[in-house]
Structure 1
Amino acid sequence: MTDEAERETLLAKARQANAPGWWQRYSDVIPPWLHTYVGLEEAVSLVCEFAAGHIPDLLQTREYASAVGILDQEDGAQGDPALQVDFKMRRQQLLRAPDPPTRWFLVDEAVLRRPQASKEIMRAQLEHLIELGHLPNVSIQILPFGVPRRADGSFSILRFAESSLPDVVYIELLNQALYLDRSADVEIYWNEFNRLTAVAANPNETRHIILEVISELSRTPR
């Protein structure tokens, strides 16, 4: 970001994001950089998210979130898994809030087929995706197998309700998160997101892909 006034405005927004909020009660189970993200999330008008590893947090059922939390604990994550799930469920209230922000989710097809939970939990999770796809502020697209991508991992692009604020790219790593606000960096991720959504299944095709995976789960033995 080159404009000093814009930078100061965004820094002020970040400081506001770190001010006490509902998420502070979960401070023992969420890392500091996620505090900032959740605070910023309260001020957005649009979030575009590409999910490469698992179902996006805001789309997870409680049971799927619990199963993923167990895997995270095995990988060394700290804190009470049940409280971490409660935190995810509380965040999801954004989807149904009055005048909610627009959320655009691009999910790698491998995420649907990765056995991160039991068949019953996965089936319920996939059905939940179809249900959420009917919300007027939610768009879900599946990126089919074989589509090349430049980004190796997940990322989100935040656009704020205040038009004077620049877009921000959020990239969560294993032990930290990156916030990119330089226009050149943000443009790279916008270009990649737009390219991927152009070749991804549209919402109607996405629904058929999800139903196909549900059908496959029903046909496979326990």
Structure 2
Amino acid sequence: MGRSPTTPRDVTDLLELYQVTDPGTVTALTALARQSNERGWWQSWGDLLPDWFGGYIGLETEASAISAYETQLVPGLLQTPGYAAAVLAAGIPRRSESDVARQVQLRTQRQRLLTRDTPPNVWAVLDEAVLRRPIGGTDVLRAQLLHLADQAQLPALTLQVLPFDAGAHPALGTGFTILRFDAGAGDEDVVYIEALDSAIYVERPADVRRYVARMDLIRAIALRPQQSLEMIRKVADDLG
């Protein structure tokens, strides 16, 4: 009698049967099911990855659509090596130069999904503060902004800026990422919220829908993509 691998959907069904509803437990176990069937390319960086982030990379790799609202930093998928190195070097505990270099390589590897044959649809909304915080200094920030302007031309990427004058909005102070999956892929849609040393995975459908509604409202009040591109270029020009 043949044996078939356990899929993330199998795990989800079993957890529902046994009334296991803790989002962190559900995410961790479905990620294990996924990783047991296919060794992820990112596992060669396993010594640098906390468990909670390795699971995210697996979800990111399989998502058909990724929507992110960022309040502080350029999303990892869009960071230049110089910007990424500055972010990583500022962390606590301090990383060695070699560890920073390897993590920058990991981030660069993640970015390949934007140009693969079937990339996910990525929609990123950046708070204006992201454009103005001088991560790595003026030259690094300017290079990062010019890179954003270039990346905005990718067919699968939509980029918007939420300007300061938008005022109050439904996600003040909280960045989040929504990962969506094609029907039949074996994964439920997930909201990922990263803290300094941990992450929250929101998987209950009703909760996910609330984050989707917030994202829709943020998109509606943000600058249109062309206006956003013009603002990004202007901030870069102002930096010299």
TM-score (norm 2): 0.82
Q: Give the secondary-structure state (helix, strand or coil) at the position aligned to 1:140.
A: strand
What residue in structure 1 maps to residue 50 of structure 2? 31
Q: AA paired with 2:106?
A: F
Correspondence for 2:93 among 76, 88, 100? 76
Farther-moved stretch of structure 1 (138-147 vs 192-201):
138-147
Identity %: 37
Q: Deviations over 1:97-130 (max 9, x none)?
A: 1111111111111010011122111111111001
CA distance in 2, matches of 1:52, 1:40: 22
CA deviation after TM superposition for structure 1 residue 149, in Å: 2.9
Structure 2: gaps (5+ residues): 1-8, 15-25
What residue in structure 2 maps to residue 110 of structure 1? 129
Q: AA paired with 1:104?
A: W
Q: Which has more radius of gyration?
A: 2
Q: AA paired with 1:22?
A: W
> Any residues of structure 2 matched to 1:36-51 within 5 Å, and which?
36-51=55-70
Aligned residue-pair number:
213
Distance 1:77 1:177, change over 3 A: farther
CA-based RMSD of the aligned residues comes to 2.1
Q: Deviations over 1:115-170 (max 9, x none)?
A: 11221111111110011100000011001114323332221001012356431111
2:199 matched to 1:177?
Answer: yes
What residue in structure 2 maps to residue 7 of structure 1? 12
Correspondence for 1:199 among 216, 221, 226? 221
Correspondence for 1:148 among 159, 168, 180? 168
Distance 1:77 1:102, change over 3 A: farther
- Is the CA contact 2:88–2:100 (under 8 Å) kept in the aligned structure 1? yes
CA deviation after TM superposition for structure 1 residue 41, in Å: 1.4
Q: Deviations over 1:165-201 (max 9, x none)?
A: 4311111112211111112211111111000000101
Distance 1:5 1:205, change over 3 A: same
2:146 matched to 1:124?
Answer: no
